[in-house]
Structure formats: C-alpha cells, structure tokens
Amino acid sequence: MDKIKIGKIVNTVGLKGEVKVYNYSDRSEIYENTSHIYVENDLTAVESVRVQKNMVILKLEGISDRDRAEALRGRELYVTEEDLPELPQGQYYVRDIIGMAVREENGTFLGEVTDVIQNTAQDIFEVKKQGGKKVLIPKVDEFVLNIDIEKKEILVRLIDGLMDL
C-alpha cells in the first residue's frame, strides 16, 4: 500500500489539541473527505477539519491538549491512494506527471518531467533534457497540446528559443 504525502503539521492551535497543517495541495477537501490519516506511520482518526486563512486545522483522535499537539509538530501527513479524490478531466496529480516523457509535435523527444512548479500563475513543468540541462515549460494551451496519462507522455509545441534558455 503506497502512502501519498499531503501535508505537514507546522503548529498547534488553541489548547484542545488542534494542529495547523501546511497543505501540499491546493485543495483542502482531501482532509474533509477522509476519516483517517497517517501521521508518519501511525493511522489516526480525524475528528474534525476546518480551514482558516488557507491553513487546514485538524483535530486528531487521542490528541486532547496543546502538549500532545506540540509533539506532532514537523510530522508529515499521508493518505492512501484510495483516499485521493478523483480529479476533474484535464487535471492531474503532480506525482502522475513526474517522470513523463515530453515530446514535440513532430515526435522529437525533449526529456522527462522532473518537477512541477506550482507557485506561479500557471504550473510550470521542469524538464530534464538529455545531457542534464533543465528547461521550464509553462503548462498553457499554447505550449502543452496533450497530456496522455496512459502513454506517460506530454505533447508540446514550443516557441523558437525556449529550449535555449
């Protein structure tokens, strides 16, 4: 059973054992739709979930005071693949994109996706070319023509000079 990292406990909230979570996703629904979550390797029941200023606040079973909550600071949170919500058409999990081959329309192999940068106006694929050089390709319709999850391939149309940056 593979576990998928979804967040990290970064602080405590109040005196009743709630923890503040830095969410690795742009959606908090994953916390709201699961009854149990892994805190590192320990499966723990989720008693309540709320969102406050883009941070997820969790109340976990067995954590009833600030001291116990403080002991969880820095711990990573995981769910199983079965707990992941199904995404709408055209949206993908980053873990599904990493390692995909990137090809131009004419079939020329450009490289593999090594990272997806998400803190910008649009996602940016970091592609490692043969020889080790990396290039950044914005995930916009003008450049990314098709993402084929089954073939593990991304088809792109690049402007002149983009690969030279």
The pLDDT, as a whole number, for residue 54 is 78
Question: Phi/psi at 100 (nearest 5 deg)?
Answer: -70, 145
Q: Is 51 exposed, middle or buried (0-12, 13-18, 19+ CB in 10 A)?
A: middle
Read off the tokens for 79. Answer: 């769910």
Token pair, residue 99, equals: 């390692």
Per the listing, tokens 């690969």 go with 163
pTM over 0.85: no
Q: Which two tokens stand for residue 8?
A: 């990290």
Q: Which residues pair with 155 in a beta bridge?
A: 103, 146
User: Rounded to whole angstroms, how far apart are CA atoms 124 and 165?
Assistant: 14
Domain ranges of the chain: 3-83, 94-164
Element (H, E) at 32: helix 29-32
Phi–psi pair at 94, nearest 5 degrees: -55, -40
Among 44-48, 61-65, 80-84, 107-111, the minimum mean pLDDT is found in 80-84
- Number of other CB atoms surrounding residue 76 within 10 Å: 15
The class of domain 3-83 in CATH terms is mainly beta
Cβ-count burial 109-144 (b if 16+ within 10 Å, e if not): ebbbbeebeeeeeebbbbbbeeeeeebebbbeeebb
pLDDT of residue 163: 61
Q: Check pLDDT > 90 for residue 33.
A: no
Mean per-residue pLDDT of the chain = 87
What confidence tens digit (pLDDT) does each residue in 115-147 have? 888 777 888 899 998 888 888 888 888 899 999
Q: CATH number of the domain at 94-164, please?
A: 2.30.30.240
pLDDT > 60? residue 155: yes
Question: Rounded CA gap, 159 and 105, in Å?
Answer: 12
